[in-house]
Copies of this chain bind each other. A is one copy, B any other.
Amino acid sequence: MLRFELLRTEGHARRGRLTLNHGVIETPIFMPVGTYGTVKAVMPRALEEMGAQIILGNTFHLWLRPGLEVVQRFGGLHRFESWSRPILTDSGGFQVWSLGESARISEEGVKFASPVNGDKLFLTPEISMQIQRTLNSDIVMQFDECTPYESKGRITTERQARSSMEMSLRWAARCKAEFERIENPNALFGIVQGGMFESLRDESLAGLEALDLPGVAVGGLSVGEPKEDMRRVLAHIGPKLPAHKPHYLMGVGTPEDLVEGVGQGIDMFDCVMPTRNARNGHLFTRFGDLRLRNARYRQDERPIDETCRCHACANFSRAYLHHLDRCGEMLGPMLTSVHNLHYYLNLMQEVRDALDAGRFADFARQFAADRARGV
């Protein structure tokens, strides 16, 4: 099931509420990424404590490990990974393209060799729907082709982008048919493609709207294009997305990208940036980013961010976290991942509070000024 209520708007920005089979989500929301059925280095209960309302799983990875027969035995991903709130799964498409030359794409689907054990595998819109049914994710993404910004140094042409976008549309129709045939009780989202071309984005959206899926995502951004191209496409398509459905911007991005996305009408975001950067000592704070490996933090008794209420900031200093990183101690990424995820989730809480109070524009200005101040 999916029910979406639009509670309030300010310009293109929206404050909403999304009801799914495993619970209710207040939007705009950031969704932590749990590729292999775990948000890296973070306990599920810590995610709950920091207010994570929904997390992601990756269909491609979970298909290979642990494999469907294992997840099936647990009745889906929720019980397997001990997460009772909603889950969104991607379609596996993005990962398959990432395999590069070893993947062979046809109208039917994609053939490739398993990077785990070399097995020959075939992923199609129908198989993606079947896998996601077994995972029992609350939000199922259509199998699509994520149009690249460039390949082998050549920027994707409009013709290439059109061909790719049109195949994604045909695959969306096959996904919908299979999703209905197997009686999936969850919600299927379509994905707007079309590369950097506004007219193709319009055509993609129109094609998806003809299928009338309950949610719509914007894919193919943050794939290596200059920031100004991302901004241009988002500013074009965001405000055109259907008002009564949730809008999901896939794989984006920095804190600044999130606030800008909200301003263009986006409700949902995911990105590996908070967890991946945490493991590399790149920490997000209200007053800009902090590079934990810098020697200046060796004796710094302050928390990462004095305005932050996460478990890491409440209990540990920059000096201690710097020390853990230097010693390669696991507690380092455990604490920095908690902090960075808390930062992203709290940022979205502040965005929701601002929208509730009708002062999102003010908030966005203050946010930009704070972040530019520097740690």
Told that A65-B326, A334-B334 touch, could you supply 12 new A-B pairs with CB distance under 8 A?
Answer: A36-B323, A36-B324, A36-B327, A38-B324, A40-B329, A41-B330, A43-B335, A45-B315, A70-B323, A73-B301, A81-B320, A82-B320
| Cβ B319 vs Cβ A80 within 8 A | yes
Q: How far is the CB of A71 from chain B (nearest CB, A)?
A: 9
Q: Give the chain B neighbours of A41 by CB distance below 8 A.
A: 330-331, 334
21 residue pairs bridging A and B, Cβ less than 8 Å apart: A37-B320, A40-B329, A41-B330, A41-B334, A42-B331, A43-B331, A45-B311, A65-B323, A66-B298, A66-B319, A66-B322, A66-B326, A70-B323, A73-B299, A73-B301, A74-B301, A74-B317, A80-B319, A82-B315, A330-B334, A334-B334
Residue in B65, B69, B323 whose CB lies within 8 Å of A327:
B65
Q: Give the chain B neighbours of A40 by CB distance below 8 A.
A: 329-331
A73 to B300, CA, bound (A): 9
Copies in the complex: 2
* Complex interface bits, A315-346 against B, C-beta within 8 A gives 1, otherwise 0: 11101101110110111011100000000000
Seen from chain A, the residues whose Cβ lies within 8 Å of a Cβ on chain B are: 36-38, 40-45, 65-66, 69-70, 73-74, 80-82, 298-299, 301, 311, 315-317, 319-320, 322-324, 326-327, 329-331, 333-335
Q: Give the chain B neighbours of A36 by CB distance below 8 A.
A: 323-324, 327, 329
Q: Give the chain B neighbours of A334 by CB distance below 8 A.
A: 41, 43, 330, 334
| Cβ B317 vs Cβ A38 within 8 A | no
| Nearest B residue (CB) for A319 | B70
| Cβ A316 vs Cβ B82 within 8 A | yes
Q: How far is the CB of A337 from chain B (nearest CB, A)?
A: 9
| Nearest B residue (CB) for A338 | B43
Q: How far is the CB of A328 from chain B (nearest CB, A)?
A: 9
Q: How far is the CB of A311 from chain B (nearest CB, A)?
A: 8
| Cβ B38 vs Cβ A329 within 8 A | yes
| Cβ A74 vs Cβ B330 within 8 A | no
Kindly name the residue among A69, A320, A335 whose own CB sees the greatest number of chain B CB atoms within 10 A. Answer: A320
Q: How far is the CB of A330 from chain B (nearest CB, A)?
A: 4
| Nearest B residue (CB) for A38 | B331
Q: Give the chain B neighbours of A329 by CB distance below 8 A.
A: 36, 38, 40
A258 to B74, CA, bound (A): 37
A42 to B334, CA, bound (A): 9
State the 4 A-B residue pairs at the shortest beta-carbon distance, nearest first.
A66-B323, A41-B330, A38-B331, A82-B315
| Nearest B residue (CB) for A323 | B66
Q: Give the chain B neighbours of A73 by CB distance below 8 A.
A: 299, 301, 319
Q: How far is the CB of A171 from chain B (nearest CB, A)?
A: 28
Q: How far is the CB of A322 from chain B (nearest CB, A)?
A: 8
